[in-house]
A and B are shown apart, each in its own frame.
Chain A
Amino acid sequence: MDGPSSGDKTPACDKENSFVSHVVGLSLCDSTPLLWRFQDLKTVRCQGLVGALLGSLPRTPRQNGRLGRPLLLMPEEERMLSDRHSAAALCANDQDEGVVLRHQLEQYEEEQRRSYEEQNVLALEDRKSAMLRAMTSSHTGSDAGNTDNLQGRLEILDQNFTFPQSALAVQLSTVRAGLIYCHEDRAFLQADWPMRAQDNPCREVRYQVFTDLRSRGFYLTSGGKFGGDFLVYPGDPLRFHAHFIAVCLPLEESVYLLEVLAVARLGSNVKKTVLLCSPGLNGVQYTSLQWSGMV
């Protein structure tokens, strides 16, 4: 296989340099690290890490076509971030003391009250402008009596308008409230890094292949649904189809012919090229499989 073009100048990552310095925060959910903060998601994407969205999309939650936060990283993506020292684990501080809690509670109630007042004003303005629009459009030839009439109505509205509590728009936050980035977190995290099973040789092979392909500018996602380790995209998966199915194998490992045939056949059926990827001393060796279809 040809060496893929090196160095990606994907336009979206023009600002990449500015994001590399940004440390993303991972939070553990059931011992799986997830990314929650919008800015963190953007940051890792600009580093060419795609991950997988797990949550329901706020706009239209009841569908599986497009999902929303949180973002789950592949183990290789996690490790790459940790190798670059650009990720930190965030801990949920559950041990809020009474005073802090009371303070938070007061703050929350105060915010709710303020929100209600502001929304009340907004709703009233909304109603007024709607009324104004209705009046002016129905009476194009405006005369004095009409404006008086309008003025009167607006006053009545002013006096009688009530904004029901149930109409108050509230936010169901995605990210934990009051979570402010701080440098202590980062230090804390190096010790308790979630990616533990590094002793697994299989993982090591995968990681080497991952870093190599990533350094050549490819985007990678998990390839389980196509029977491989990774799906390899020439550009951002939003705009491009995967070209390769990467299967990671240690160099010295022998392979069953049937397995090779199966994966090659599958690859040709989905119009992708199967890559056997084996890290060696001089970088990763790639072998592409093609179903020749020769009779």
Chain B
Amino acid sequence: MADKHKPDTDRSFFSEILSPSELFAARSRSHKIPIRGQKDFFPNDSEEQRQRLEQSLNEHWSLISEERVERLGNLVRAKWIPGDQIVELQSPAGKFWQTMGFSSDGKQFLLPEEALYLMECGNLQVFHRDLPLSIQDGYERFLSPNTLRLQQYQVFGHLKRLGYVVHRFDPSSEPSSYARRLNLPQSRDRAGRQLKRKRSASPTPSCSRSEAPEESTTERMEDDKPRHDGEEEKTVPESQLTASSEAPSVQAATTSTAEERRGRSWWMTEDLKHKASVHCPPSASSHWDFSTVPFPDLGGRLSGCLASPDPSLLPGALAVGVCDVAAWKGRINLRKVKMSAKERNREKEVCRRRRDINKDREVQQCSNWADYKKLLAKRQGRRKGRPEHLWNREVAPLHDPRQPLPTGELLDKISVLKSTNLLEGASRLKGSDEWKICFNVYQPDTVADFKKSNPGKPYSRMCVCSFDDPVPDLRAIKLLASQSGDVPVVIAVVDHGDISFYTFKDFQLPKDVYP
């Protein structure tokens, strides 16, 4: 190459403009990249090595020096609008329009990074003041803190060259975590999990854990106390049926509403309270005469409305109005229940056992449900010899050894520290500008049926940072995770020309024990 600074060579040198004949010849040039041979281990000043190096360098420089030459007909023409930092198409878009660009006011636009990438691919010619922009112009004009940083463009280009569809991430277009949770059908499993987690974290309901002990202590009572059964959801309807003497109608009612277990049991207890209020005037904690507390007979005597229950029997500030049962009555199945001999026998057995309990004097002394439970617990404790003193105190063992529990559940029960995940509590954190998601990335294999208007769930979301930046702390990771929802956030670290990707994921330690 010319090593002198003659003015005439300088020009051809630095402008790197091809002549028309060079342009014409370039139309039929090869698109192959020379293969790089095996590298040598150490330079040994041999002629052979020198030649190989020279050849490699020549290939390298011929690749690097090559200019983009395209037929005018294959180029999409566009205009740079500096004010809006955007590129407007002036001729019909090419295939790239499926995954890039947007329309507004009947015009087609490209974001600067998209335009720059297409320029680099030789698909687009961008004009500014009616003069074509070079790639260098594109880099220098399109990339800025207002649009995309160079590092972000490096990541964008890297992913685009691999075939991914890459869009800018817009936090406002993402549903908030609250909206995400409400929108069950779209991301059912996640929202469901989240709800469950929330529930177990708050002290009050904790249904799944309190259920087990209750069941085991009340094994015997199941048959005796039909009302409780109603709540326990696992019993056969027949037991309720016999408990209340107006068998057929109630049974029908329970089965017809039994589509949703939880919902039904709630409705049943409501009914019971009703009855109690109707028949027992505010006698507070007197001994309840259960024979006078019947179920509401929706099929027979009762018509129209159920009066509102005695407020003193209702918990807290709950107000229950008059309940119109007319609509329900229409749905009640009044057919007589036919029972097989086997079923009848079981009923009899149940009746017998129930009678036994009610004759028990101690049971009769119980004024309410809690008393009865206490009595049962006492009896059971006496029988099996639980070291009572351990349970008398404020601090009690985590687990009652008499309760059979699968090992897995037991381990879960006695684990004091619960595992957490990235999304937990993330919505309460205040946002920061330090870490931002840059791109939504969609997988290459979806390109064929990709729709810009409905891109679907991204494959991942991309953050861009430099090697000089710190590793994100837990707070930053949580914030990113909550912004991204159920799409993994990948962090692209740019180290000059190299780009490395890493991601933080929730990890559930494997359990040794399975039920």
Contact B50 A11 (CB under 8 A): yes
Within the complex, the shortest CB–CB distance from A115 to chain B, in Å, comes to 4
Determine if A101 is an interface residue (Cβ-Cβ < 8 Å).
Answer: yes
Beyond A15-B3, A52-B497, whether A238 also contacts B131 by CB under 8 A is no
Within the complex, the shortest CB–CB distance from A57 to chain B, in Å, comes to 6
A residues near B56, Cβ cutoff 8 Å: 236, 238-239
For B129, the closest partner residue in chain A by CB is: A101
> Which of B59-67, B187-195, B278-286 lines the interface with chain A?
B59-67
B residues near A224, Cβ cutoff 8 Å: 467, 493, 495-496, 498, 500
Beyond A55-B120, A64-B162, A177-B134, whether A239 also contacts B52 by CB under 8 A is yes
For A203, the closest partner residue in chain B by CB is: B468
B residues near A32, Cβ cutoff 8 Å: 150
Residue with the highest number of chain B CB atoms closer than 10 Å, among A60, A115, A174: A174
Contact B161 A176 (CB under 8 A): no
| A contact residues, range | 35 or more
Determine if B402 is an interface residue (Cβ-Cβ < 8 Å).
Answer: no
Determine if B197 is an interface residue (Cβ-Cβ < 8 Å).
Answer: no
| Bound complex: CA A12 to CA B496 (Å) | 25
Determine if A267 is an interface residue (Cβ-Cβ < 8 Å).
Answer: no
For A125, the closest partner residue in chain B by CB is: B24
Beyond A36-B136, A58-B68, whether A238 also contacts B467 by CB under 8 A is no
Determine if B73 is an interface residue (Cβ-Cβ < 8 Å).
Answer: yes
Number of A-B residue pairs with CB-CB distance less than 8 Å in the complex they form:
256
Interface string of B486-502 (1 = CB under 8 A from A): 00000001011110100
> Which of A130-138, A178-186, A254-262, A282-290 lines the interface with chain B?
A178-186
| Bound complex: CA A232 to CA B470 (Å) | 25
Q: Which residues of chain B from 113 to 164 have a CB within 8 Å of any chain A CB?
A: 117, 119-122, 125, 129-132, 134-137, 139-141, 143-145, 149-150, 154, 157-158, 160-163
B residues near A10, Cβ cutoff 8 Å: 43, 53
| Bound complex: CA A62 to CA B20 (Å) | 27
Beyond A11-B54, A30-B143, A119-B20, whether A171 also contacts B15 by CB under 8 A is no
Contact A175 B43 (CB under 8 A): no
Determine if B16 is an interface residue (Cβ-Cβ < 8 Å).
Answer: yes
A residues near B40, Cβ cutoff 8 Å: 235, 239-240
Residue with the highest number of chain B CB atoms closer than 10 Å, among A10, A19, A37, A238: A238
Determine if A27 is an interface residue (Cβ-Cβ < 8 Å).
Answer: yes
| Bound complex: CA A172 to CA B70 (Å) | 8
Contact B57 A241 (CB under 8 A): no
Contact B45 A9 (CB under 8 A): yes
Within the complex, the shortest CB–CB distance from A76 to chain B, in Å, comes to 11
Beyond A27-B136, A61-B122, A108-B131, whether A170 also contacts B70 by CB under 8 A is yes
Q: Which residues of chain A from 129 to 183 have a CB within 8 Å of any chain B CB?
A: 164-181
Determine if B18 is an interface residue (Cβ-Cβ < 8 Å).
Answer: yes
Determine if B350 is an interface residue (Cβ-Cβ < 8 Å).
Answer: no
Q: Which residues of chain A from 211 to 249 have a CB within 8 Å of any chain B CB?
A: 221-222, 224-225, 234-236, 238-241, 243
Determine if B17 is an interface residue (Cβ-Cβ < 8 Å).
Answer: yes
Interface string of A52-73 (1 = CB under 8 A from B): 1111111111111111111010
For B120, the closest partner residue in chain A by CB is: A56
Determine if B420 is an interface residue (Cβ-Cβ < 8 Å).
Answer: no
A residues near B121, Cβ cutoff 8 Å: 56, 61-62
Contact A61 B24 (CB under 8 A): no
Contact B33 A66 (CB under 8 A): yes
Determine if B72 is an interface residue (Cβ-Cβ < 8 Å).
Answer: yes
For B127, the closest partner residue in chain A by CB is: A108
Determine if A41 is an interface residue (Cβ-Cβ < 8 Å).
Answer: yes
Beyond A18-B3, A70-B136, A171-B67, whether A166 also contacts B33 by CB under 8 A is no
Determine if A110 is an interface residue (Cβ-Cβ < 8 Å).
Answer: no
Contact B122 A58 (CB under 8 A): yes
| Bound complex: CA A175 to CA B32 (Å) | 23
Determine if B21 is an interface residue (Cβ-Cβ < 8 Å).
Answer: yes
Contact A39 B134 (CB under 8 A): no
Beyond A57-B63, A60-B33, A239-B52, whether A175 also contacts B16 by CB under 8 A is yes
Contact B33 A59 (CB under 8 A): yes
Beyond A239-B39, A241-B41, whether A11 also contacts B53 by CB under 8 A is yes
Within the complex, the shortest CB–CB distance from B99 to chain A, in Å, comes to 13
Q: Which residues of chain A from 41 to 94 have a CB within 8 Å of any chain B CB?
A: 41-42, 45, 51-70, 72, 74, 92
Q: Which residues of chain B from 71 to 87 have a CB within 8 Å of any chain A CB?
A: 71-75
Beyond A11-B54, A122-B24, A181-B14, whether A171 also contacts B69 by CB under 8 A is yes
Contact B75 A170 (CB under 8 A): yes
Interface string of B38-52 (1 = CB under 8 A from A): 011111010001101
B residues near A198, Cβ cutoff 8 Å: none
Within the complex, the shortest CB–CB distance from A261 to chain B, in Å, comes to 19
| Bound complex: CA A36 to CA B132 (Å) | 17
Complex A-B: 9 CB contacts under 8 Å = A57-B63, A59-B66, A169-B27, A170-B69, A173-B68, A173-B136, A174-B135, A175-B135, A235-B53
Additional 6 contacts, C-beta under 8 A, given A108-B132, A174-B16 = A58-B68, A61-B121, A62-B163, A181-B10, A225-B495, A236-B56
User: Can you list the 8 inter-chain pairs with the closest CB atoms, starting with the nearest?
Assistant: A52-B497, A166-B73, A224-B495, A118-B20, A172-B68, A56-B120, A173-B134, A18-B3
